[in-house]
């Protein structure tokens, strides 16, 4: 199954869905639920970093995404924003500014599909 954006036939919502790293973010969400709140911060950060590294291979080898701009966007912007939003409550500094992260996530999810078009 490809997540490559079809600039001719994909609707705006299809483009948004293809730029959200749902499987990777879902994996982090599940891991976040399994790691106890009392665990050291490095534990969840290690899992988030591991998934960050796996995102590129997942997109290019399993999801067959070939557009380098799409891959770069998902790996360098979308996943880090999703990951930060998921684990923000574990860190005092992030938790106190969680609304900023959420707003950035919304903008980063809705605006780029406008760019990935003809």
pLDDT digits (tens, 9 = 90+) for 13-60: 666 666 777 888 899 999 999 999 899 999 999 999 999 999 999 888
For the segment 53-79, the average pLDDT, to the nearest whole number, is 86
The answer to whether residue 4 sits within a structural domain is: no
The answer to whether residue 108 sits within a structural domain is: yes
Question: Which range marks the domain in which residue 73 is found?
Answer: 12-115
Percentage of residues in the chain with pLDDT exceeding 70? Answer: 81
Token pair of 29, please?
A: 């969400």
Q: How far, in Å, are 8, 18, 58, 96 from residue 12 at the CA level?
A: 11, 10, 23, 33
The answer to whether residue 1 sits within a structural domain is: no
- Please, which residues have CB within 8 angstroms of residue 85's CB and are 6 or more apart in sequence? 98, 101, 102, 105
The answer to whether residue 7 sits within a structural domain is: no
Rounded Cα gap, residues 97 and 95, in angstroms? 5
The answer to whether residue 80 sits within a structural domain is: yes
The answer to whether residue 6 sits within a structural domain is: no
The answer to whether residue 64 sits within a structural domain is: yes
Rounded Cα gap, residues 105 and 3, in angstroms? 20
Token pair of 109, please?
A: 């999810």
The answer to whether residue 39 sits within a structural domain is: yes
Question: The pTM is what?
Answer: 0.77
**How many domains are contained in the chain?**
1
């Amino acid at each position: 199954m490809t997540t490559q954006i079809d600039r001719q036939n994909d609707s705006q919502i299809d483009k948004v869905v293809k730029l959200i790293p749902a499987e990777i973010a879902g994996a982090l969400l599940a891991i976040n639920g399994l790691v106890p709140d009392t665990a050291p911060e490095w534990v969840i950060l290690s899992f988030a970093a591991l998934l960050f590294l796996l995102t590129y291979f997942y997109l290019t080898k399993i999801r067959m995404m070939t557009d380098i701009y799409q891959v770069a966007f998902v790996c360098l912007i979308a996943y880090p924003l999703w990951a930060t939003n998921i684990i923000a409550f574990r860190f005092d500094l992030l938790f106190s500014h969680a609304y900023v992260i959420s707003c950035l996530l919304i903008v980063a999810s809705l605006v780029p599909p406008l760019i990935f078009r003809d």
